[in-house]
Amino acid sequence: MKVEFYKHSLGEKEKEAVLAALDSLFLSTGPRTEEFEERFASYLNVKHCVGTSSGTAALFLALAAWGIGAGDEVVVPAMTFIASSNVALHLGAGVVFCDVDRETALIDPDMVEGILKKDKQGKVKAVMPVHLYGQMVDMKALRSIADRYGVKVLEDCAHCIEGERDGVRPGQVGDAGAFSFYATKNMTSGEGGALVCSDEKLAEKVRVLRLHGMSRSAADRYAKYQHWDMEELGYKANMGDLQAAILLPQMERLEELWQRRNAIALEYEEAFSRGGVDFPKTLPGVKHARHLFTIWAPEGCRDRLLEALQAEGIGCTVNYRAVHLRKYYAEKFGYKKGDYPAAEKIGKRTISIPLYPRLTNDEIGFVKDTIIKLCGESAY
């Protein structure tokens, strides 16, 4: 049996929405983008949403809007995608990695506080919690710590549209939250992203920065031409109406699709718990967005297990290996093995397996049975 790692859930409504957008006046940032921004902000119960070209762009624009740059530092978990830390480097800021919880792979608020305590010169200007795989960081604890030390909190919510923890949704407690609509995300436009916040000044600044620093967009100038000015040095990082057109119909199905992914994930958890397969802990009382389901291979066997799964026809990948040991970071900044042991251990064992609504029951059973069989064989 062949089981793809991922298949999207786009259908006729998305096709119709794109065709309607193609027949309209605006292909770039216009009324559909504005409608999506309003609906996404309402869904998350935040005041503002700014559509961007990617989740990475959303992270970058938030830091840029806060004026973070040379001489500043941003705290980032060592277990995440490279985009989380890269955006700080692109602005000339430094990255301070933080280790993660061994059971959940989430950034540890106590370790963050330890870093801030040692920051006697006040270089750290922001902390970037990553809601990895779809499970939220303890944002109430992290917010309290950040407030005591006077630093911004930028939530990387790329995996966590539908999540909730302690009555808090993604993007509600941080100073801003960045979302990704990349091809494999729970809600996708192929490429795209958004920044959400409750700070009107931040939202307006990001709107200007995402379009070269211009005071007026093309849509603003359409009905009656108005001169625009360049208010500051900006970037090209806006969402277009074609992307928004794909996203809008998906807003109606977010909960339905989440329920299917959650049911599959619960089935995986029950089977793997019985079959002796390790996986990250899902905390009680948390609504896990179920973006990714990862298992932890027996120590020293991850790459062999990857090959064996692929040989059986099961699509899989690795999310992620510890950032500080990637070639660029290790060579440029001198990071070495042992610097962030929990992130390194997880990075050596983790495998992401198929988790998407279009999986059939036969495919789910095949994935479960194959993983339990392979992990239990003496070769592993």
- The encoded tokens of residue 244 equal 């928004």
Average pLDDT, the chain: 96
pLDDT of residue 223 exceeding 80: no
Q: What is the mean pLDDT of residues 227-254?
A: 95
Residue 139 banded pLDDT, cuts 50, 70, 90: very high
Per domain, the residue ranges of the chain are 12-251, 254-376
330-367 per-position pLDDT tens digit: 999 999 999 999 999 999 999 999 999 999 999 999 99
CA angle, 169 then 170 then 173, to 5°: 80
Spatial distance between the Cα atoms of 225 and 217, rounded to a whole number of angstroms: 11
Nearest to 198 by CA among 42, 34, 35, 39: 42
pLDDT of residue 215 exceeding 90: no
CB atoms within 10 A of CB 6: 17
Q: Calculate what percentage of the chain has a pLDDT beyond 70.
A: 97
Residue 216 banded pLDDT, cuts 50, 70, 90: confident
Catalytic site residues? 185
224-240 per-position pLDDT tens digit: 777 888 989 999 999 99
Residue 378 banded pLDDT, cuts 50, 70, 90: very low
Query: Which residue(s) pair with 50 in the sheet?
Result: 195
pLDDT of residue 9 exceeding 50: yes
Residue 220 banded pLDDT, cuts 50, 70, 90: low
Residue 377, pLDDT score: 73
Instruction: Name the more confident of 231 and 371.
Output: 371
Residue 1, pLDDT score: 92
Residue 221, pLDDT score: 59
Nearest to 207 by CA among 96, 352, 356, 51: 51
Instruction: Name the more confident of 66 and 216.
Output: 66
Q: What are the DSSP calls for 204-235, one per residue?
A: HHHHHHTBTTBSS-TTTTTSS-----B-S---
Architecture of domain 254-376 in this structure:
Alpha-Beta Complex (3.90)
Helix ranges, 187-323 (H): 200-209, 241-251, 254-275, 302-311
Overall pTM surpassing 0.85 (yes/no): yes
Q: Decide if domain 12-251 falls under CATH 3.30.465.10.
A: no
pLDDT of residue 217 exceeding 80: no
Residue 218, pLDDT score: 63
112-128 per-position pLDDT tens digit: 999 999 999 999 999 99
Most distant pair of Cα atoms in the chain: their distance: 73
pLDDT of residue 376 exceeding 90: no
